[in-house]
């Protein structure tokens, strides 16, 4: 089958379906571009897919200089596969190979069995030489053809549903060709003036190398936003698609939550999925659903909360709630004793003296019992609300303030304490 049978207008096709290419590039390094590229690719593997099959995803590390993704996903070990640098240097797209790095996938939901494979085409061998010379000397048209043929060969070989490309920063020929081929060219930047100043200039540099590049297709994501007001002032002016907050600012370590790290990752991945929904309109098979992002642990926890009244804490609160009736009885007895003492003088002083402590004890038990009962009802109501809202409510609570996240943490602990059906505590 020839290249033209599988590629139409620069968009890859496989099994009569389009294969989107999402390219990540930036004006400068250190903006979280590679982290986002990896996270997009990982999340695509748990999307619904087609015909009951989860998507296989190809992640291409085009940053042949730093090779960041290659080192992180292969632990710096040399693998006997042809890299981007070698394929381009040898002008041999048919030699393209990829590594199965599915086991390196790191999602807040854990490593589910029901997912697609993640493949990585490494940037270059660890000690490669001449990586910049290869990029600088190759003809632009030939680079475009080689890149397209290389991606097509990998899509066919590994049954790929989506391609994610991590580009080098700046106006690099590799970045330009990837952006030109991409269905979704994503410029990743920081919430700083240097990014905003270059948003329009970088696409023009790409067009100098590849006139076919369409700047209007570019989508801009501002990463690690800490000052939301500043972003909101700039976003309309520069046509920013969306932003991702600095999650460590959204959920602080000082909150003391037992699942702070997990909450951070969940929230980060939810923001990424929200962006996926915006840039891959109509590609529902590649959009992860809330339960898949949340993971089996949380899904099971929500299910267990349907039986929240079986939790030891709820049972204990129910027992404490009955104390209010003891307190009410003591309060009434104390009041009667004091009342009788005022009417009938012959009542012994010791009995009259017992009335006040009885009232105090009754009030304490009454208040404590009512508090336990109200806490029980409040906790049950919160659990049932979470069951009704499902995974979407979990993410809503994560985006809210400290109180909501602490309540979520408490509900997870409550769910963990509920015995599995068929077992008794």
Query: Span 151-171, mean pLDDT?
Result: 96
Percent of the chain predicted with pLDDT > 90: 57
> What is the predicted pLDDT for the residue at 399?
86
pLDDT of residue 359 exceeding 50: yes
E strands within 237-372? 242-245
Q: How many CB atoms lie within 10 A of CB 318?
A: 13
> What is the predicted pLDDT for the residue at 194?
85
- The residue among 376 and 73 whose pLDDT is bigger is 376
pLDDT of residue 3 exceeding 50: no
Q: Lowest mean pLDDT of 145-149, 412-416, 421-425, name the range.
A: 421-425
pLDDT of residue 28 exceeding 60: yes
Q: Please tell me the distance from the alpha carbon of residue 74 to that of residue 76, in angstroms, as a whole number.
A: 5
Q: Are the C-beta atoms of 77 and 136 separated by less than 8 Å?
A: no
Q: What is the CB-side half-sphere exposure of residue 31 using CA atoms within 13 A?
A: 28
Q: Lowest mean pLDDT of 8-17, 112-121, 267-276, 406-415, name the range.
A: 8-17
Q: Which two structure tokens, joined as six digits, stand for 266?
A: 């969940």
pLDDT, tens digit, 9 for 90 and up, residues 331-355 = 888 888 777 665 555 556 666 667 7
Chain-centroid distance of CA 165 in Å reads 19
Q: Please tell me the distance from the alpha carbon of residue 167 to that of residue 341, in angstroms, as a whole number.
A: 90
Sign of CA dihedral 198, 236, 214, 57: positive
Q: Please tell me the distance from the alpha carbon of residue 268 to that of residue 37, in angstroms, as a whole number.
A: 13
Query: How does residue 380 score in pLDDT terms, banded at 50, 70 and 90?
Result: very high
Query: How does residue 7 score in pLDDT terms, banded at 50, 70 and 90?
Result: very low
At residue 205's C-alpha, the angle toward residues 213 and 87, to 5°, is 70
Query: Span 199-208, mean pLDDT?
Result: 93
> What is the predicted pLDDT for the residue at 76?
57
- The 10 Å CB-count burial string (b at 16+, else e) for 276-306 is beebbeebebbbbebbbbbbeebbebbebbe
Q: Are the C-beta atoms of 121 and 63 separated by less than 8 Å?
A: no
> What is the predicted pLDDT for the residue at 332?
87
Phi, psi of 278 (to 5 degrees): -80, -35
> What is the predicted pLDDT for the residue at 344?
57
Q: What's the mean per-residue pLDDT of the chain?
A: 88
> Parallel, antiparallel, or unpaired for β 21-26 and 99-100?
unpaired
Q: Please tell me the distance from the alpha carbon of residue 304 to that of residue 300, in angstroms, as a whole number.
A: 6
- The residue among 77 and 63 whose pLDDT is bigger is 63
> What is the predicted pLDDT for the residue at 161?
96
> What is the predicted pLDDT for the residue at 343?
57
pLDDT, tens digit, 9 for 90 and up, residues 254-275 = 667 778 888 889 999 999 999 9
Chain-centroid distance of CA 83 in Å reads 29
Phi, psi of 23 (to 5 degrees): -105, 130
pTM, to two decimals: 0.86
- Strand partners for 14: 17
Residue pointed to by tokens 């890299």:
83
Q: Please tell me the distance from the alpha carbon of residue 396 to that of residue 365, in angstroms, as a whole number.
A: 38
């Amino acid at each position: 089958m020839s290249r033209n049978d599988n590629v139409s207008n620069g968009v890859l096709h496989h099994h009569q379906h389009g294969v989107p290419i999402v390219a990540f590039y930036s004006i400068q390094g250190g903006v979280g571009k590679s982290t986002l590229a990896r996270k997009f690719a990982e999340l695509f593997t748990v999307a619904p897919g087609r015909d009951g099959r989860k998507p296989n995803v190809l992640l291409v590390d085009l940053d042949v200089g730093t090779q960041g993704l290659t080192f992180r996903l292969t632990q710096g070990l040399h693998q006997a596969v042809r890299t981007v640098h070698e394929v381009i240097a040898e002008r041999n797209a048919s030699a393209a190979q990829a590594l199965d790095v599915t086991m390196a996938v790191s999602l807040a939901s854990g490593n589910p069995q029901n997912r697609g494979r993640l493949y990585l085409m490494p940037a270059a061998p660890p000690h490669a030489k001449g990586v910049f010379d290869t990029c600088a000397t190759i003809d632009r048209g030939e680079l475009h053809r080689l890149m397209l043929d290389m991606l097509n060969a990998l899509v066919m070989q590994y049954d790929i549903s989506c391609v994610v490309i991590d580009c080098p920063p700046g106006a690099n020929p590799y970045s330009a060709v990837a952006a030109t081929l991409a269905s979704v060219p994503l410029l990743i930047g920081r919430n700083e003036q240097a990014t905003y100043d270059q948003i329009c200039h970088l696409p023009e540099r790409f067009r100098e190398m590849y006139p076919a590049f369409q700047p209007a297709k570019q989508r801009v994501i501002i990463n690690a936003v800490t000052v939301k007001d500043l972003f909101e002032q700039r976003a309309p002016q520069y046509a920013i698609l969306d932003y991702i907050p600095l999650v460590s600012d959204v959920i602080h370590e000082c909150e003391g939550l037992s699942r702070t790290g997990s909450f951070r990752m969940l929230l980060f991945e939810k923001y990424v999925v929200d962006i996926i929904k915006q840039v891959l309109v109509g590609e529902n098979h590649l959009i992860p659903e809330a339960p898949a992002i949340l993971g089996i642990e949380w899904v099971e926890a929500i299910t267990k909360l349907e039986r929240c009244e079986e939790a030891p804490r709820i049972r204990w609160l129910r027992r404490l709630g009955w104390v209010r009736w003891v307190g009410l009885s003591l309060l009434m007895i104390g009041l009667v004793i004091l009342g009788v003492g005022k009417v009938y003088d012959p009542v012994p002083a010791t009995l009259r003296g017992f009335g006040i402590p009885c009232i105090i004890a009754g009030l304490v038990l009454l208040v404590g019992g009512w508090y336990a009962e109200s806490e029980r009802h409040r906790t049950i109501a919160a659990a049932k609300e979470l069951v009704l809202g499902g995974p979407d409510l979990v993410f809503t609570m994560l985006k809210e303030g400290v109180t909501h996240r602490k309540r979520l943490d408490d509900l997870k602990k409550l769910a963990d304490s509920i015995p599995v059906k068929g077992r008794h505590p």
